[in-house]
């Protein structure tokens, strides 16, 4: 078990560009979560999947954000037409059903929008 | 959602026991109390979870009084490597949306 991995670890993009991040959860975990964290704040929940179904979405997840988990394994988070306010750490976590409050986090993807 | 209040920062010395208290006055009957630890440039790490009384694991202890309006995370004999942000979370187990992180407590362990 190698833990939750995220790719890339760092991304610098220009305003208006699209970016996509990937998360590979712990293999036997059927729940996968995305969070966003800005400097000095705790992570904010964005969305979560159980297997391939997206079950909850935060109001923070604007129309420019989309997440998928097509085969119930890895997930992607895409941000279209990036804005400077999207600069943040994007964290992925996974867990087993029934242990929602014990989540295993990846190292995050640091996005900088210039 | 139950709002949590915890100190912004705390300092301690190596070898001391550290207690971080979290206030959650409007905790609901089905809410659990969970603590996470986060080092710089890493994702948070689950430490401990409880519903009432005392829970202990190899890393920490969690004390919850009968009224459940507060909880205390106890770290025995801290070392420099325990310097991190500690988050207290309150919420029911069934909804990921309600796993809500506040700003946390920055614990700095000094030599």
The per-residue pLDDT for range A26-55, each reduced to its tens digit, is 998 999 999 999 998 999 999 999 999 998
Set of chain B residues whose Cβ sits within 8 Å of the Cβ of A108: 41-43
Q: pLDDT category, A1, cuts 50, 70, 90? A: low
Q: Which residue has the tokens 């998360």?
A: A23
Give tens-digit pLDDT for B13-37: 999 999 999 999 999 998 999 999 9
**% of chain A beyond a pLDDT of 90:** 79
The dihedral of CA B71, B74, B80, B82: what is its sign?
A: negative
Nearest of A28, A20, A31, A95 to residue B46 by alpha carbon:
A95
Average pLDDT, chain A: 93
- Parallel/antiparallel/unpaired status of strands A75-79 and B61-64: unpaired
Q: Judge contact between B91 and A101, C-beta under 8 A.
A: yes
Reduce the DSSP state of residue A36 to 3 states and report it. strand
pLDDT tens, residue by residue, B55-95: 999 999 999 999 999 999 999 999 999 999 999 999 887 66
* Residues of A (31-60) whose Cβ lies below 8 Å from B: 31, 33, 40-45, 48, 55-56, 58
Indicate which of A38, A45, A96, A101 best probes the interface with B, i.e. most B CBs within 10 Å of its own CB: A101
Cβ B101–A43 below 8 Å, yes or no? yes
- pLDDT at residue A61 tops 90: no
Report whether B5 contacts B34 (CB < 8 A): no
Residue A100 pLDDT: 63
List, in sequence order, every beta strand (DSSP E) within A1-108.
5-7, 10-13, 19-24, 31-37, 44-50, 53-57, 65-68, 75-79, 88-95, 104-105
CA angle A94, A86, A95 (to 5 degrees): 5
Q: How confident is the model at residue A96 (pLDDT cuts 50, 70, 90)?
A: confident
**Which residues in B lie closer than 8 A to residue A100 (C-beta atoms)?**
93-96, 99
Residue of B99, B104, B105, B106 for testing the chain A interface, max A β-carbons within 10 Å: B99
């Amino acid at each position: 078990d190698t833990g939750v991995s995220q790719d890339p670890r760092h991304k610098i993009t220009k305003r208006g560009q699209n970016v996509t991040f990937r998360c590979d959860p712990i293999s036997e975990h059927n729940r996968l979560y995305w969070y966003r964290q800005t400097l000095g704040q705790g992570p904010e929940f964005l969305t979560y999947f159980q297997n391939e179904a997206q079950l909850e979405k935060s109001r923070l997840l604007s129309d420019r954000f989309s997440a998928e988990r097509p085969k119930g394994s890895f997930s992607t988070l895409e941000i279209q037409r990036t804005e400077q306010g999207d600069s943040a750490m994007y964290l992925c976590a996974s867990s087993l059903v029934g242990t929602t409050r014990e989540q295993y986090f990846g190292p995050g993807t640091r996005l900088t929008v210039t | 959602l139950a709002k949590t209040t915890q100190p912004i920062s705390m300092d301690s010395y190596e070898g001391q026991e550290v207690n971080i208290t979290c206030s959650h006055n409007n905790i609901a009957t089905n809410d659990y109390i969970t603590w996470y630890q986060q080092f710089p440039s890493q994702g948070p790490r689950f430490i401990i979870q409880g519903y009432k009384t005392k829970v202990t694991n190899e890393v920490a202890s969690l004390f919850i009084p009968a009224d459940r309006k507060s909880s205390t995370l106890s770290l025995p004999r801290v070392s420099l490597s325990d310097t991190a942000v500690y988050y207290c979370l309150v919420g029911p187990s069934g909804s990921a949306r309600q796993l809500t992180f506040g700003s946390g407590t920055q614990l700095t362990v000094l030599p």
